[in-house]
Amino acid sequence: MAAERARRADVSAWRPRVPGVVEVFHAHFTEYAYPMHVHDAWTLLIVDDGAVRYDLERHEHGTPLDTVTLLPPHVPHNGSPATPDGFRKRVVYLDTSRLGEELIGAAVDGPDLRDPVLRRRVGQLHSALGRPGDELEAESRLTLVGERLRGHLSRRAASRARRDPALARQLRELLDARVVTGVSLEEAARLLHAHPAHLVRAFSGAYGIAPHQYLMSRRVGRARRLLLDGVPPGEVAPVAGFYDQAHLTRHFKKLVGITPGRYRARSARWAS
C-alpha cells in the first residue's frame, strides 16, 4: 500500500482566462519520470518541494528551490525526481505572445534562472491564477514576470546565433505542419530530398529526440489543449492525430503521468 501511494500522481490542470496562458499545471510526482518530449509553448516552472533533474539539448540541469526554470518550445527535454520523495511543481505554459521564438536559443543556453525577485513574482502569479475572478491581477503579474524573463534572455540572445542544421529544421517544420495527419518517413525523405536514415540521424543529432517521439509529443500537447477545452476524452483521439483511444491513452500517460480521463476530470473539477 505504501508503494502504491508513493507512485500516485497528484495533478491539477486548468486554463485560466488570461491572455497568453495556455495551461496551468500543478503536480506532485514521486517515482514518475518524463521521457524525452517537446511542448509547443514556453514552460515556466518552479519546484516547491524536492528537485527535478532534466536534460535539455544533451546537457543535464537541475531545479533547486531558489530557481525559476524556463524551457523553450519545440526543444526536447525530459525530467525525473532528484530526491527520494519526488517533487512538487507548479507550471505555467505560455504562448509566443508572451515570449517570442527569437528567445529560444538564449533559453537553451541557460534555462535555470536564480533570481529571487523573479521567483517571488512567479509564486504570486500562481496564487492569482488559482483564484477565478482575479484575472486582471494574474495578467498584471504575468506582465511583470514576462518583462523580467525577457530581460534575462535578451542579453544572451544579443550575442548568440542559434545552431539549427537546415535538414533537421526542415523536417521539424514538416512534422509541425502534419501533427494530426502525420507523415511517413518515406514521404518526408521524398519531400526533403534526403535518405530516410540520414533524416533520422540529422533530426536526432540536432534535437536529441527521434522524429516519431517529437510528433507524438506534439499530439499529446494538442490533446491536452482539447481536454482543457472540454472535449470528452473519447472524442480527442482522432482530432489530435491518434489511431484510437487506446493509442491516445498509452502515449498521454507516458508523457503526462496520468490518463486523459483523470486529466480531464481534474481540470473540470477546478473549472467548476
Residues 35, 39, 45, 48, CA torsion sign:
negative
As a residue count, the chain comes to: 272
- Between 14 and 155, name the one with better pLDDT: 14
Is residue 5 very low, low, confident or very high in pLDDT (cuts 50, 70, 90)?
very low
Is residue 272 very low, low, confident or very high in pLDDT (cuts 50, 70, 90)?
low
Helix/strand number for the chain, H first, E second: 11, 10
Q: Are residues 187 and 106 in the same domain?
A: no
Question: Which residues form the domain of 27?
Answer: 2-157
| CA nearest neighbour of 47 among 21, 83, 97, 3 | 83
What pLDDT shows up at residue 270?
Answer: 59
What pLDDT shows up at residue 248?
Answer: 95
Q: Are residues 184 and 124 in the same domain?
A: no
* 0.85 surpassed by pTM: no
pLDDT, average across residues 223-230: 93
pLDDT at 16 over 80: yes
∠ CA 27-31-36, rounded to 5°: 80
The total of structural domains in the chain comes to: 2
CATH of the domain at 221: 1.10.10.60
CATH of the domain at 88: 2.60.120.10
**Contact assessment for residue 109 and residue 160, using Cβ atoms and an 8 Å cutoff:** yes
Grid coordinates belonging to 144: 511583470
pLDDT, average across residues 111-131: 95
Q: Which of 93, 126, 157 is the last residue of a domain?
A: 157
Three-class SS state of 50: strand
